[in-house]
Structure 1
Amino acid sequence: MMRNGEPVSMNDPEYAAAATLIADTWKKCEEINCIPRTCWELHDVIIEKLGIQLPETSNIVQPFHIDMASGLEVGENVFINYNCSMMSCGGITIEDGVQIGPNVMLVTTNHDFAKREWVLHKPIVIKKGAWIGGRSLILPGVTVGENAVVAGGAVVTKDVEPNTIVGGNPAKVIKRLDIK
């Protein structure tokens, strides 16, 4: 239901299974983050403990935080810098060649404003060659276009066009890139 974007009540007995999976993933992340490792050592531990299909050419730097490992898809030549928080119940797709700076938050979950016990999920897609600057926040349902740049500290509430630089809160187009 989460992946389909359907509202889910946190009081629903079926939600308890998801909450248990999330808590288990948090625990595994905590265990992984407690032991300092090189990117190469960490790569294999992430695959082993979380089951994320992380290509050999891609790396995640610790510490990192994720709530549902099965909701994360990572392409080739991706670099995710330290302290990235990924709320991935709604699904996060990171395509080839993406660079993500430190302290970035990727959030696919929100609450219904009228019924706050209802959880809403929308996927995040970061297209090929995009660059997400440090301390950026990408909100549910956003697609960051191919070769786009999200300036550090931006709060991205809407889709980002390919080959653009966005920044601010809420993020707005700063410049269009001439990429061939």
Structure 2
Amino acid sequence: MTSELDKMRAGDWYCSLDPEIDAIRMRVFDAVHRHNMALPSERGDIHPDLRALLPEVHETARIEGQFHLLYGNLKMAEGAFMNVGCVVLDAAQVEIGRNAMLGPQVQIYCPDHHRDPVKRGQLIERALPVTIGKDVWIGGGAILLPGVTIGDGAIVGAGSVVTKDVAPGARVAGNPARDLTQR
């Protein structure tokens, strides 16, 4: 029998209310809390307890405080930066490329809730990965929806809602985000 965690990791529909999933989430929540509550001079780029749960985050990556993360499915390459208040709902893999910069309050959503209201009420969801390329700039308050990829060198305007992939080098803004380089 396949566990709910196995289904989550495979990108299949799963129930997010599961003891095995809850245990992972609680371990990450505790480390994130320590990261957020530490004095910045003691925290460094990433609090040691949080860094221990994120083996695929480069030593030069930085996450500012008031950060939120669910499961630890986060990869950050060299020089990647998340400003204050970023929210990463990483039920699937979130990958942030080299020198990518995320402004304050950027939100990355991997969970995709079921369209059937009965199943949605039973907390049935699936998780789709989000990928951010190298040298990307995401403006403050932008929201990236499940399954999107932001191509290398792209710029996402502040407050934008990204509902589909962004081409490398593109500039997008708005709700939904639209390509400004085509105008």
TM-score (norm: length of structure 2): 0.86
Taking a change above 3 Å as real, the CA distance of residues 135 and 87 of structure 1, as seen in their structure-2 partners, is: same
Which one of 135, 149, 169 corresponds to residue 163 of structure 1? 169
Work out whether residues 45 and 61 of structure 2, in 8 Å CA contact, stay in contact via their aligned partners in 1. no
Q: Deviations over 1:34-93 (max 9, x none)?
A: 122149724352323x34433222111112110011x10111111111111111111101
Instruction: Report 1:29-108 matches (<5 A).
Output: 29-38=32-41, 41-45=44-48, 46-48=50-52, 50-69=53-72, 71-108=73-110
Which ranges of 4 or more aligned residues in structure 1 deviate by more than 3 Å?
Answer: none
Q: Deviations over 1:141-174 (max 9, x none)?
A: 0000110000000000100011111011111111
**In the alignment, does 2:14 pair up with 1:8?**
yes
Tell me the CA shift for residue 137 of structure 1: 0.4
Work out whether residues 35 and 47 of structure 2, in 8 Å CA contact, stay in contact via their aligned partners in 1. no
Q: Which residue of 2 aligns with 1:120?
A: 126
Taking a change above 3 Å as real, the CA distance of residues 39 and 64 of structure 1, as seen in their structure-2 partners, is: farther
For structure 1, the residue ranges without an aligned partner over 5 or more in a row are none
Taking a change above 3 Å as real, the CA distance of residues 87 and 110 of structure 1, as seen in their structure-2 partners, is: same
Percent identity at matched positions?
A: 29
Distance between the aligned counterparts of 1:23 and 1:147, measured in 2? 35
Distance between the aligned counterparts of 1:34 and 1:149, measured in 2? 31
**In the alignment, does 2:24 pair up with 1:21?**
yes
Instruction: Report 1:137-148 matches (<5 A).
Output: 137-148=143-154
